[in-house]
Structure 1
Amino acid sequence: MTSPPIRIAILGTHSTGKTTLLKRMEMELRGHGLSVARTGRLGKRAVAASLPKMQHHTAQSTEWIIAQGILDETTAAARGADVVLIDRAALDAIAYFHAAMAFRGETPPRLERERLLALASTQLPKYDLLFATVLDESMPVDTGHNYDTGFRRLVDQHAHRLLADDVIPHQRVTSDHDSQDHAVEVVVRHCLKQEYV
């Protein structure tokens, strides 16, 4: 493909199957002969950079995650893959930031909120498809993680509120197998259609 790569992004609260879903998409796309680049691990890299995460997010850690995510997306696109799968769309960091503020009972300054949202929003026009996972609290989570269920719920609420408030085109993906299968089918159909345009 000589055109810019197709960018497919996902967001949602932790342990809702984002990475697993992207792996399925990657396998299907590679099976159809498309080259795929995938971004991810922003949370772990933020911790390695001594930045707070989860309910401890700050404006600084949020900005780092957005900026690093943009760099990762740009680098992956520059390497010439047909498709770039983005594990945690830039808007995801805003949902985590808003949830962390709400969790701690804090209100960030309006200009800071608007600046971070503007930074994250620069990526939205680049996404060909955007998926948002939906929290299903009945699904088991990795017991190796010490998740605060209230914070996890707040992230889910803020992520979906951000998408709804700005009427951002996206597809919701639940924990239901049919919903996940449909998301994979949508991606494969879209990418194959674009390949032969």
Structure 2
Amino acid sequence: MRPTRYGDAPKRFAVIGTHNAGKTTICHGVTARLRAQGLDATYSPEPSRTSRFLASGIRNITSQLDLFVRTIANELEAGRQAAIVICDRSILEVLAYSAQMTGADGQEARLAKAMVAFAEEYVQSYDVLFRVGWRFPMADSSDPIRIGDAGFQEAIDTSTDAFASRFGCAVVPLQSPETAVMDIEREILRRLAADTAPSESSGAELM
């Protein structure tokens, strides 16, 4: 039986935090370890690496709206393929980046507010957000996708945390990049076991 939460909906876990923190490597590691145990798991990639906007140096609300939509599309498609989805980032980071680029008024601000309103409902589909507690220095400052400024990275983390708190998301902090994969695997397995364990009331009914 596929482990589910809402009927046939998949379990969705996301690794969140600013760029250049090793999230992609962690996600692949977690997915591989779950599969090795026979679990129906798959990986949902974050779309920034394939963004034509970012590759061209375009960073505005349009580029973020594109990432917002494609992040959701990737996660939904992954959920059609497997019962457990490991997400590289969440839509909260898109909101965090958008907040750094949006003015106080005008169409861009209205689009940003619309994304926030949608996200407040959509984030409830994540079972847990695993928050990386570190970031690595950018080795290549010419990378067109990533902004190498440490202050900008910190601002993204702060904004992501603020949105997670505002929406009441379940967040599990990760303490070390060396143990992150095993820590996430352990927590996912614990939650899956808790979800599939018979409740006391159901056990009493069977007696």
Provide TM-score, normalisation by structure 1. 0.80
Q: 2:20 aligns with which of 3, 15, 18?
A: 15
- 1:130 and 1:156 map into 2 onto residues whose CA distance is 13
- Aligned twin of 2:119: 120
TM-aligned CA distance change 1:66 to 1:185, over 3 Å: same
- Aligned twin of 1:83: 84
Q: 1:63 aligns with which of 62, 65, 76?
A: 65
Q: Is the 8 A contact 1:52 1:58 kept in 2?
A: no
- Which SS does the other structure have where 1:182 is aligned? helix
The structure number with the bigger radius of gyration is 2
Q: Any residues of structure 2 matched to 1:31-42 within 5 Å, and which? A: 31-42=36-47
TM-aligned CA distance change 1:44 to 1:108, over 3 Å: farther
> How far apart are 1:34 and its partner, in Å?
0.8
- Aligned twin of 2:32: 27
> How far apart are 1:30 and its partner, in Å?
0.8
The residue type equivalent to 2:13 in the other structure is I
- 2:167 and 2:83 map into 1 onto residues whose CA distance is 29
Provide TM-score, normalisation by structure 2. 0.76
The residue type equivalent to 1:118 in the other structure is A
Q: Is the 8 A contact 2:95 2:116 kept in 1?
A: yes
- Structure 2 runs not aligned, ≥5 long: 3-7, 199-207
Number of equivalences: 187
- 1:176 and 1:77 map into 2 onto residues whose CA distance is 26
The residue type equivalent to 1:185 in the other structure is R
- Aligned twin of 1:159: 160
Give the fraction of aligned pairs with identical amino acids, expressed as a percent: 21
> How far apart are 1:153 and its partner, in Å?
1.7
Root-mean-square deviation over aligned CA pairs: 2.7
- Structure 1 runs not aligned, ≥5 long: none
Q: 1:5 aligns with which of 7, 10, 15?
A: 10
